[in-house]
Amino acid sequence: NGTGFKAESYWNAYSYLNVWVINNIDMEIEGGGTVLGYAQFPASGLLSTDGIAVRADNIDERYFGGRTATHEVGHWLSLIHIWGDQQCGSDNVLDTPTHFGPNFGVCGNHPTLDPNIGGGSQFHNTPYNVTACSPDQPDGEMFMNYMDYSSDACMNMFTLGQKARMDFTLHGDGSEPGIRSYLISQENLEATGVADPYTPSDCAPISSFYFDQTGDFATQKMICAGESVDFEETAYNGEVDDYMWTFEGGDPGTSTSANPNNITYNNPGVYDVTLDVSNSVGSDSETAEDMVIVSSTTAQYQSSWGYVDSYWSEQDFLDDYVVFNQDGSANKWEWYFGPDGGSTGWESMRMFNLDNDFSEIDEIVSPSYNLSTLNNPTLQFRYSGAAVDNTPDDQLRIMASDDCGETWSTRETMSGFELTNAGLVPGSYKPNANSVWTDVSVGLGSFAGKSNVRIKFRWVSGTRSNNFYIDDLTISGSPLGMDDLERQIDLSLAPNPTSDMTTVTMSLPESSRIRMELVDILGKNVTPMLDREMGNGTHKFDVNLSGQATGVYYLRIFVDNDMLVKKVVKN
């Protein structure tokens, strides 16, 4: 948004063409649409803002050769749009035809183009729009020109007149220099190291590396204990004579190979990797902290009934969960504590997302669970989210892994308004009532029988982001959702929080076996409460917490073969 980012990475425009590649361009465009790039015309602004800016998803061959950059460089070299920026206007170039206006999604029946590409283009036989402007033009409009708005796949030409205008901007005409002639002066070519012939001087290398990527994380690798990782150097700036790798927790612990393979990690932990590179001119060292995350092949949590996490303790959250915050910003998954900050208490897990960058990815991975004893396992949780305006476009992907996070399977994807159950909140959103929480149930049937399963929440930020909260995460083997069961038996628990007694009230539609037990936050069986057949109708049970320590407990209620869990807070 604006030009502030340019000051952070500006190179002297008297010597270089600045090309800023950015995630998003937050500019309004007449008639709507998305701005893909923009440029500064010659002699029209400050040197500190001179250059072109292009969205990252429109810069290279993945987007039909990156014609957006070609279009913007045309502006930077004095070309205006081929329609003259007005109906049947002039672009001040004699050999370009008059255009009625910009062409969108137009693509000619060109023999060198694949008719299956073009991003939804309309294919036209030339000539096109012969009678759009007066007088008629037998050859029609030149929609394949780089200075139109046609599909990138169909742009393929400048005219000789456009070429002459750009040449004049660089070279002038002999009587006066071009506006940008300083860039191609011999003095500047030599100063910037691009004059021919040129022999570059030796430079010290700069260390850089990555791992063989098979998972979702660009900067961190998750594996099981006993598995290995391959690494590859990407040092730059100078030729490397010597490599020295150091693998904390790895076997072997060091290597002098450029691209070491099969570095084995036998013990669970989080480990750094360091690469030192050198040549006759100098050396450099790079350390990737917490690059390799090694998990035990035995699940962290073992239970025959299921699992509940209501994020009561910040330390437990930090011990159990792995947060991936690749850009290092304040926008990340975190533990949250505040008034009504949780579904039934003050605690929850939050994706702090206000003003997050467009397309920024933040992930959080749960501890590992043994699901081998659960029939038809189901993940359930409650969430609360809001939008800052009426065009939310965030995405939440819920994933599962049974190989310590090395590979992931997507179980559910939520996006847009689906994530904004709390409505429109212009400022930083915080939940303030139980009514702003919504239940979600995600099937984990393909992970039944698996003994080491992790859950991942993958958040992709949109352009109008706000905060998002998760609470009461539960994994159970019940085929009936907890929320459905709770409504079916009209369950209530009050008072909650309590200092001594709380009362459970339920209405059974038919005779059922009821079993209740109180467990602490670690899942330890504290007090068996009830286990008997009960008839249909309304029933009340008192739960005595007077002998329990202050903290959070869970009441597990079994109705025949179905189960639900309610959090109880002891003051």
C-alpha atoms less than 13 angstroms from C-alpha of 438 in its C-beta half-sphere: 13
Neighbours of 184 (CB within 10 A): 12
Query: What is the spatial distance between Cα 544 and Cα 501, in angstroms, rounded to a whole number?
Result: 5
User: Which DSSP string do the residues of 540-554 spell out, in sequence order?
Assistant: EEEEE-TTSPSEEEE
**Which residues lie below 8 Å from residue 459, measured CB to CB, with a gap of 6+?**
333, 351, 353, 361, 362, 363, 394, 395, 396, 397, 468
Amino acid sitting at position 136: D
Burial class (CB in 10 A: 0-12, 13-18, 19+), 34: exposed
Pairwise CA distance, residues 307 & 316, whole Å = 14
How is residue 372 written in tokens?
A: 């081998």
Q: How many angstroms separate the CA atoms of 185 and 178, rounded? A: 11
Query: DSSP states of 374-440 as a string?
Result: -SS-EEEEEEEE-BSSS----EEEEEEESSTTSS-EEEEEEEGGGG-TT-B-SS-----SGGG-EEE
Q: How many CB atoms lie within 10 A of CB 174?
A: 6
SS3 319: helix
Q: Which long-range contacts (CB under 8 A, 24 or more apart) does 286-290 make?
A: 286/206, 286/207, 286/208, 286/209, 288/209, 288/219, 290/220
Could you confirm whether 72 is annotated as catalytic? yes
Instruction: Identify the active-site residue in 28, 61, 72, 412.
Output: 72
The two tokens of residue 268 are 């669970």
CA neighbor of 286 nearest in space, from 243, 350, 256: 243
SS3 at position 494 = strand
Among all residues, which ones are annotated catalytic? Answer: 72
